[in-house]
């Protein structure tokens, strides 16, 4: 004991107790059943073999330079699936979770003594594989949905949401001068007589100054130039991307995915994206791509563009898109534009159109909740549109996998697995309490029987015939 308090000597690794146990005797975690089901579903459509085939051209080794074989790409995609189902946004957290969980090790086909991939391997593999590989994996899951009749593609809905970029507004720089946004605001505040040594006063000045506007044409983030300034769902200005889903209104499957810039209009390229989704559905269903299968497209008023709607209508696709402009002056438009807007307006106001709009709101929002909120993608840890899009494609594929799992086993996510376990325990407790309640009710309703040869009651018998001597 010293004046500063007790001093403890740490044990060396040689002094620490050791024990041995067979890996087969180790207990499994509660998540084992879910990952076993997921592995079974992936094996049913030969996920591992198909992924290795798709990634083979990017894994060709240069024998002159030597090197060791790379990580199995199927393991890489499975680890990203773990990130989706465990709601882990960062790749570091995914690698740590895969190393610690016995059930996930079994899912990845890694033994207890084997070292799982390091988080830095994610960056290496992501840069190695082209975006077409991720798109092919997404299409592979779509074909699995088609085999289970979970992909129709007759009525589609399209919608966008927001994804917060891994970039800060404080790091904005002027495209021409290179001046930081914070320095720019301080310069304006000093000219207005504001104390620039007070950060709160500077922020208040920036928020309330007249003519405040942060244009993406003038400002950019040097860490992620693709991220754009825009309002999120709550109206807060952030650095954003805009993911877009094309959803099957009959099954809820995500047919196509796009990652737009934060300042891009929703209606830009609407017809092209719908036709691409139609072609993707045709390929997955097995029909010739030239055969049109999409009958109707539903979108909100942000997608209202007369030229885009006219292109879809000429292709024989019914459009249900609300017009954001009330009492629009049609005389300023061409005849084709007027015809397209009137058709979309009639469709939206019809009974079937209103039903489609309600269905769109339900399924599109559900798909974004699954991918962004439950899948850990609301705020990305990656930078660059291409890198984020690669990851997002697989997260959308995982949302479709969840739909497939729910169809086959009734449970599509880990959260539902835990909820099912809780419901089973609650049902057991309810049955037990009901049994005890019935026993007490029967006990209370039946009279007591006394022993015949005793002066005092010595034994109470409920529901039994007394003994006769």
Average the pLDDT over 123-151 and give the result.
93
Domain-embedded: residue 203? no
pLDDT band for 396, please (50, 70, 90 cuts). Answer: very high
Domain-embedded: residue 33? yes
Which of 232-236, 317-321, 459-463 tops mean pLDDT?
A: 317-321
Average the pLDDT over 368-378 and give the result.
91
Identify any residues that bridge with 259 across adjacent strands, giving them in sequence order. 243
Q: Judge if 150 and 241 occupy the same domain.
A: yes
Question: Is pLDDT at 28 greater than 80 in this prediction?
Answer: no
Reported as a single tens digit per residue, the pLDDT across 397-420 is 999 999 999 998 887 776 655 444
Q: Judge if 353 and 449 occupy the same domain.
A: no
Query: What is the domain extent for residue 400?
Result: 132-172+214-412
Q: Judge if 291 and 438 occupy the same domain.
A: no
What DSSP character marks residue 5?
A: B
Predicted TM-score of the model (pTM)? 0.80
Please report the pLDDT score of residue 423 as a whole number.
54
Please report the pLDDT score of residue 192 as a whole number.
84
* Domain end residue (candidates: 395, 412, 429): 412
Q: Judge if 402 and 424 occupy the same domain.
A: no
CA angle 76, 81, 86 (to 5 degrees): 125
Please report the pLDDT score of residue 81 as a whole number.
95
Asked whether the CA dihedral 111, 112, 113, 117 is positive or negative, the reply is positive
Q: Judge if 103 and 154 occupy the same domain.
A: no
Distance CA 425, CA 430 (A): 9
Q: Judge if 326 and 426 occupy the same domain.
A: no
| Residue, of 426 and 308, whose pLDDT is higher | 308
- State the DSSP string of 347-397: HHHSHHHHHHHHHHHHHHHHHHIIIIIITT-SB-S--SHHHHHHHHHHHHH
Residue 305's φ and ψ, nearest 5 degrees, are: -145, 120
- State the DSSP string of 20-67: ---GGGSPPPTTHHHHHHHHHHHHHTTHHHHHHHHHGGG----TTT--
Nearest Cα residue to 243 out of 251, 234, 200, 233? 233
Distance CA 123, CA 95 (A): 12
Cα 151 to its chain centre, rounded Å, is 19
Please report the pLDDT score of residue 102 as a whole number.
86
pLDDT band for 198, please (50, 70, 90 cuts). Answer: confident
Please report the pLDDT score of residue 410 as a whole number.
81
CATH number of the domain residue 225 falls in? 3.30.420.10
* Domain end residue (candidates: 69, 95, 129): 129
Q: Judge if 256 and 112 occupy the same domain.
A: no
Q: Judge if 399 and 424 occupy the same domain.
A: no
| Residue, of 81 and 12, whose pLDDT is higher | 81
Average the pLDDT over 20-39 and give the result.
74
**Sequence-separated contacts (24+) of 371-374 with Cβ below 8 Å:** 371/243, 371/245, 371/254, 371/395, 371/396, 371/398, 371/399, 372/161, 372/163, 372/243, 374/87, 374/413, 374/415
Question: Is pLDDT at 428 greater than 90 in this prediction?
Answer: no
Structure tokens at 185: 């605001």
pLDDT band for 263, please (50, 70, 90 cuts). Answer: confident
Domain-embedded: residue 349? yes
Reported as a single tens digit per residue, the pLDDT across 143-161 is 999 999 899 888 999 999 9
* Domain end residue (candidates: 67, 97, 129): 129
Please report the pLDDT score of residue 93 as a whole number.
94
Return all residues near 305 (Cβ < 8 A) that are at least 6 apart: 267, 270
Domain-embedded: residue 39? yes
Nearest Cα residue to 47 out of 89, 85, 81? 81
Mean pLDDT (the chain) is: 83
Domain-embedded: residue 336? yes
Please report the pLDDT score of residue 52 as a whole number.
94
What are the Cα distances from residue 212, in Å, to 92, 188, 204, 205, 228?
38, 11, 12, 10, 17
Please report the pLDDT score of residue 54 as a whole number.
94
Domain-embedded: residue 181? no
Please report the pLDDT score of residue 233 as a whole number.
81
For 185-251, strand residue ranges (E) read 219-220, 228-231, 237-248
Structure tokens at 324: 């954001």
Please report the pLDDT score of residue 464 as a whole number.
46
- Dihedral of the alpha carbons of 416, 419, 425, 426, in degrees to the nearest 10: -130
Query: What is the number of domains present in the chain?
Result: 3
Report whether 295 contacts 155 (CB < 8 A): yes
Return all residues near 82 (Cβ < 8 A) that are at least 6 apart: 88, 94, 97, 98, 104, 107
Domain-embedded: residue 467? no
Structure tokens at 296: 């109707």
Domain-embedded: residue 166? yes
Question: Is pLDDT at 255 greater than 90 in this prediction?
Answer: yes
Please report the pLDDT score of residue 285 as a whole number.
66
Q: Which stretch of 48-57, 65-74, 87-96, 144-153 has the lowest confidence by average pLDDT?
A: 65-74
Rg (CA), the chain: 31
Q: Judge if 229 and 291 occupy the same domain.
A: yes
Structure tokens at 380: 């990305």
Structure tokens at 302: 């942000």
Q: Judge if 449 and 346 occupy the same domain.
A: no
Q: Is 240 helix (H, G, I), strand (E, B) or coil?
A: strand
Q: Judge if 266 and 351 occupy the same domain.
A: yes
Q: How many CA atoms lie within 13 A of 387 on its CB side?
A: 18
Residue 172, by phi and psi: left (phi above 0), alpha (psi -120 to 50) or beta?
beta
Return all residues near 116 (Cβ < 8 A) that are at least 6 apart: 95, 98, 99, 105, 108, 110
Question: Is pLDDT at 23 greater than 70 in this prediction?
Answer: no
Q: Judge if 286 and 152 occupy the same domain.
A: yes
Question: Is pLDDT at 140 greater than 90 in this prediction?
Answer: yes
């Amino acid at each position: 004991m010293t004046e500063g308090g007790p001093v403890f000597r740490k044990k060396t690794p040689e002094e620490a107790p050791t024990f041995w146990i067979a890996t087969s005797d180790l207990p499994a975690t509660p998540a084992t059943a879910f990952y076993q089901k997921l592995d079974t579903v992936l094996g049913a459509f030969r996920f591992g073999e198909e992924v290795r085939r798709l990634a083979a051209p990017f894994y060709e080794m240069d024998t002159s330079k030597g090197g060791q074989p790379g990580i199995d790409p199927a393991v890489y995609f499975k680890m990203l699936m773990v990130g989706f189902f465990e709601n882990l946004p960062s790749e570091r957290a995914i690698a740590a979770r895969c190393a610690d969980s016995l059930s996930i090790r079994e899912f990845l086909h890694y033994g207890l003594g084997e070292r799982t991939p390091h988080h830095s391997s994610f960056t290496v593999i992501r840069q190695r594989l082209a975006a077409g590989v991720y798109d092919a994996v997404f299409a592979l899951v779509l074909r699995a949905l088609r085999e289970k009749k979970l992909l129709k593609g007759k009525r589609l809905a399209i919608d966008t949401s927001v994804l917060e970029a891994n970039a800060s507004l404080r790091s904005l720089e002027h495209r021409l001068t290179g001046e930081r946004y914070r320095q720019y605001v301080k310069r304006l505040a000093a000219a207005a007589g504001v104390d620039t040594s007070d950060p709160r006063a500077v922020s208040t000045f920036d928020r309330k100054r007249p003519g405040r506007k942060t244009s993406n044409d003038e400002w950019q983030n040097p860490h992620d130039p693709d991220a754009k300034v825009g309002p999120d769902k709550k109206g807060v200005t952030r650095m954003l991307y805009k993911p877009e889903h094309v959803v099957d209104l009959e099954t809820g499957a995500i047919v196509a995915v796009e990652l737009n810039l934060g300042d891009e209009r929703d209606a830009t390229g609407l017809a092209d994206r719908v036709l691409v989704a139609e072609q993707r559905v045709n390929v997955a269903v097995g029909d010739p791509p030239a055969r049109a299968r999409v009958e109707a497209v539903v979108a909100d008023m942000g997608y209202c563009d007369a030229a885009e709607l006219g292109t879809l209508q000429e292709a024989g696709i019914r459009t249900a898109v609300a017009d954001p402009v009330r009492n629009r002056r049609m005389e300023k438009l061409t005849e084709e534009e007027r015809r397209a807007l009137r058709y979309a307006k009639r469709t939206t106001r019809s009974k079937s159109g209103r039903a489609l709009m309600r269905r769109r709101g339900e399924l599109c929002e559900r798909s974004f909740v699954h991918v962004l909120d439950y899948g850990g993608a609301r705020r990305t840890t990656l930078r660059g549109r291409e890198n984020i899009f690669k990851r997002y494609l697989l997260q959308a594929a995982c949302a479709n996998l969840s739909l497939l799992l729910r169809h086959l086993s009734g449970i599509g996510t880990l959260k539902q697995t835990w909820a099912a376990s809780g419901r089973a325990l609650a049902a057991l407790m309810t049955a037990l309490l009901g049994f005890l309640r019935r026993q007490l009710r029967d006990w209370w309703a039946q009279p007591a029987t006394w022993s015949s040869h005793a002066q005092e009651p010595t034994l109470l018998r409920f529901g039994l015939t007394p003994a006769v001597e």
